[in-house]
Amino acid sequence: MFSTHDNGANVALAAEKSELIEADICCCCHTMQLAIKDAMKNNSGMEHAVEKCKKLASLVHQSSKAEKMLRNACEKKSINYRKLIAPVATRWNSEAMCMESILHLKDVVNYLAGDEEVFHSRCPSPKEWDMIEDGVTILKKFQEVSEMLSADKVPTLHEVIPQLYNLGRNGHLKEYHDCKERSTRQQILCASCFIIITISLNSLFSGARERDLPKSLTRPLKGIF
């Protein structure tokens, strides 16, 4: 029997001790999400920007008055209203989706922040708006990969290495990091995500034993990282 499980130490230990499980591996998507969360926590600027997004989403979800103000402002500004997405700890990519939903209503949030204290205290600063925009750009590809690998009607194990390899080495993140026109802030953020995805890959496969994975799966990893 083969087992794919999350990164919980108790679950991993149970899989290792089980006599029924001959091979096991940590879930690629779960590992990637943990790496992204670590990257956010290690970047104070991004962490504060994400926190503002969470507070805005929470406000609109908990206050019908605030939601009505947002809707009315969208109508006044001729901007298509989209409900803000509140992040859920157990839902993959929810922070990225929250940031994207907030970014769509940036002009409306800034407009309301000028007159309404509940929005003013939660409105991102110009620098934080830039961080949110960069974060959405970077996390979009992570989201696409995790959604593809999470498919439940087709096998995806064979896609893990090609997708993460392209994401970390040949994908848009490296090009984004190497772009000389980017500001120092943007380059640092991109470099952080570029490094973090490599850490994610190593974390995912470093504990795998030779018997845990077919040689056809493990061989492509050699010499890559």
Q: Mean pLDDT across the stretch 117-128?
A: 92
pLDDT digits (tens, 9 = 90+) for 10-56: 887 888 888 888 777 778 788 778 877 777 777 777 888 889 999 99
* 121 vs 203, more confident: 121
pLDDT attached to residue 216 = 37
**Over 70: is that where the pLDDT of 225 sits?**
no
pLDDT attached to residue 143 = 87
pLDDT mean across residues, the chain: 77
Gap between the Cα atoms of 86 and 43, Å rounded: 21
pLDDT attached to residue 197 = 55
Gap between the Cα atoms of 170 and 175, Å rounded: 8
pLDDT digits (tens, 9 = 90+) for 136-171: 887 888 888 888 888 888 888 788 878 877 776 544
Q: Give which of 157, 193, 171 is closest to 28, Cα–Cα.
A: 157
pLDDT attached to residue 217 = 45
pLDDT attached to residue 176 = 52
Q: Give which of 8, 7, 24 is closest to 16, Cα–Cα.
A: 24
Residue 70: half-sphere exposure toward Cβ, Cα within 13 Å: 25
Q: Mean pLDDT across the stretch 57-67?
A: 94
Gap between the Cα atoms of 29 and 143, Å rounded: 9
pLDDT attached to residue 153 = 86
CB contact at 8 A, 37 and 92: no
Residue 64: half-sphere exposure toward Cβ, Cα within 13 Å: 0
Q: Give which of 116, 100, 113, 108 is closest to 50, Cα–Cα.
A: 100
Q: Give which of 170, 174, 158 is closest to 224, Cα–Cα.
A: 170
Q: Give which of 145, 133, 171 is closest to 92, Cα–Cα.
A: 145
124 phi, psi to nearest 5 deg: -60, 150
119 conformational bin, left if phi > 0, alpha if psi -120 to 50, beta if neither: alpha
pLDDT attached to residue 102 = 95
pLDDT attached to residue 202 = 60
223 conformational bin, left if phi > 0, alpha if psi -120 to 50, beta if neither: left
* pLDDT-derived band at 183, boundaries 50, 70, 90: low
**Over 90: is that where the pLDDT of 200 sits?**
no
Q: Where are the alpha helices (DSSP H) in the chain?
A: 9-17, 28-41, 44-62, 64-76, 94-104, 106-113, 117-120, 126-149, 160-165, 172-178, 184-205, 215-218
